[in-house]
Amino acid sequence: MLAALARAPAAVRVDGAQISKCFARAASSADVQQIGATYVDVAQQLADRSRIAPHSAATLRLGYLMGAVRRGAGRDFGVYYETRRRIESDLSGVDVSSAEFVRGERAGKSSG
The secondary structure of 97-109 as a DSSP string is: TSHHHHHHHHHHH
pLDDT in tens, 67-103: 999 998 876 556 788 889 999 999 999 999 999 999 9
Cα four-point dihedral sign 61, 66, 67, 72: positive
Task: Report, as an integer, the average pLDDT of 56-70.
Answer: 97
Looking at residue 56, its amino acid is S
pTM confidence score: 0.92
* Domain boundaries of the chain, sorted by first residue: 28-111
> Mean pLDDT score of the chain, rounded to an integer?
90
Question: What is the predicted pLDDT for the residue at 108?
Answer: 96
